[in-house]
Structure 1
Amino acid sequence: MRCLLIEDYLPLRDNMRECLVEEGFVVDDCGAGDEGLWSAENHSYEVIILDIMLPVIDGLSILRRLRKLHDKTPVIMISARDSVENRVEGLNAGADDYLVKPFALAELVARVRALNRRRYDRESHIICIADLQIDTLRKVVTRGEREIVLTRLEYRMLEYLAHREDQTVSRMEIGEHVYQDHDSGNSNRVDVYISYLRRKLNSEGESDLIRTVRGLGYVISGRSP
């Protein structure tokens, strides 16, 4: 899952990015408001983590701009401003959550995950598709009684498809959400990793849960085609 992190204090930004990456997220980060706004307007994200005090364009202005454009990406505002009035202002501007500095990185990760579940209308961190189970907290994948060992990239691809269960997902969307370099599906990299996933998921002759939709992309579903 891809996050956008906009924070001008480099040591804090580095710590947040490293923590999120370690937890399995793909992270774009920047330190100026204009750069952050450009990224938010030109790429798709599961969650945006947005500081209020930023150079060039402040966080509240960025948030109001995105909401004016009907961008519904969940936003966590982060700030040292801890008064009730500050929190209300951020939430009224369209933020989905407000986190006061200093905060524990574990809490940030938990809030990002919570917003991601809400974005995809998931009540639990466990995703079940037929006999496939994905534990998005532990990053453990099982099929029946068998645990399936995946690389980080394979896991991100599977989790993204699973969040979009029963929906056709294009190669471009997969590239945008799972590759650090915003690979847009112009190469065969997505097809190659889908084949790796199928091989591991179906290694004992199970039915194929990932289907190719010719000319459009892929869909994961426990339903019969």
Structure 2
Amino acid sequence: MRILIVEDEAPLLAQLRDFFAAKGYAVDAAANAREGQYLGEEYPVDVAIVDLGLPDISGLELIRRWRAAGRDFPILILTARGRWQEKVEGLEAGADDYLVKPFHFEEVWARINALIRRAAGQARPQVKHGPITLDTAAQTVTRDGEPVALTAFEYKVLEYLMLHPGKVVSKAELTEHLYDQDFERDSNVLEVFVGRLRRKLDPDGTLQPIETLRGRGYRWTLAERR
């Protein structure tokens, strides 16, 4: 998943960037609202973290501009302002959640995961499709209750596909949502990841959960299990 962090406190921005990168996110970072606005409008962001007290334009105005431009990715506000009126203003501007500083990084991560799940129509951390269960909180995968060992990138590919079931996802879309801007993108590497996923999730070839559409991309074929 691709996360955009807009925060003017350099140490905190670096800490958030490193924290989410370690969790497997592709991270874009901006130290002011104007740079954040550009990144949010030009790149395929899945979720954003925004500080309200930015030096050039307020975080509230930044959120309003994104929404006016049709950008509908979920937004978590981080701020030192704790008055309920400011929380209401943030939510009415178009934010989806609000967290007051100081905070625990694990709570930020939990809220970000919840926002991504809700944006994909998932209320629970466990996404179940057929015999395959993906736990977005624990970042684990099981088939029929048995753990499936995945690398970090294999998990990221699977998570994106399972959160967009039935959708044709191009290789370009996958790389844009999974890799940082400066990552050397190679479609052959992506094909290797998908091949490994097929072998690990469907060793006997009975499920065929990932369909390849020549010239178009991939599609997750299993239906959600309630």
* TM-score w.r.t. length of structure 2: 0.91
Q: Tell me the CA shift for residue 139 of structure 1.
A: 1.4
**In structure 1, what is the equivalent of residue 19 of structure 2?**
19
- Evaluate the alpha carbon distance shift between residue 203 and residue 181 of structure 1 in structure 2; reply closer, same or farther with a 3 A threshold: farther
Instruction: Provide the alpha-carbon RMSD of the alignment.
Output: 1.9
Give the AA of the match of 2:142. Answer: T
1:82-138: CA deviation from partner (whole Å, max 9, x where unpaired): 112221221121111121111121211111111111100002111112111111111
**Residues 137-181 of structure 1: CA deviation (Å, up to 9, x unaligned):** 111111224321111011000000000011111111111111123
Describe how 1:72-151 pairs up with structure 2 within 5 A: 72-151=72-151
Structure 1 Cα separation of the partners of residues 207 and 111 of structure 2: 35
Does 2:39 align with 1:42?
no
Tell me if the contact between 1:63 and 1:94 (Cα under 8 Å) persists in the aligned partners. yes
* CA shift digits 1:157-216 (9 cap, x unpaired): 000000001111111111111112376976333222211211222224443110011221
Match of 1:215 in 2: 215
Q: Alpha carbons of 1:182 and 1:115: their partners in 2 closer, same or farther (altered >3 Å)? A: farther
Contact 1:172 1:185 in 2 (8 A): no
Q: Is the 8 A contact 1:176 1:184 kept in 2?
A: no
Which residue number corresponds to residue 64 of structure 1? Answer: 64
**Uncovered stretches (5+) of structure 1, i.e. residues with no partner:** none
Please give the alpha-carbon distance, in whole angstroms, between the structure 1 residues aligned to 2:80 and 2:42.
28
Q: Is contact 1:175-1:183 (8 Å) kept?
A: no
Q: Name whichever of 211-220 and 26-35 sits farther off.
A: 26-35
Residue 20 of structure 1, CA deviation: 2.2
Write the distance in 1 (CA, Å) between the matches of 2:187 and 2:153: 16
Describe the shift of the 1:24–1:183 C-alpha distance in structure 2 as closer, same or farther (beyond 3 A): closer
The share of aligned pairs that are identical, in percent, is 38
SS at match of 1:194: helix
Work out the number of aligned pairs and report it: 223
Structure 2: which 5+ runs fail to align? none
Bigger shift: residues 148-157 or 83-92: 83-92
Please list every run of at least 4 consecutive aligned residues from structure 1 whose deviation after the TM superposition is greater than 4 angstroms. 182-186
Distance (Å, rounded) in 2 between the aligned partners of 1:111 and 1:149: 25
- Give, in whole Å, the separation in 2 of the partners of 1:23 and 1:183: 16
| Counterpart Cα distance in 1 of 2:33 and 2:69 | 17
Amino acid in structure 1 at the alignment position of 2:114: A
User: 3-state SS of the aligned residue for 1:161?
Assistant: helix
SS of residue paired to 2:187: coil
Q: Which residue number in structure 1 is paired with residue 190 of structure 2?
A: 190
Gap change, CA 1:74 and 1:11, over 3 Å in 2: same
Distance 2:87 2:133 in 1: 38
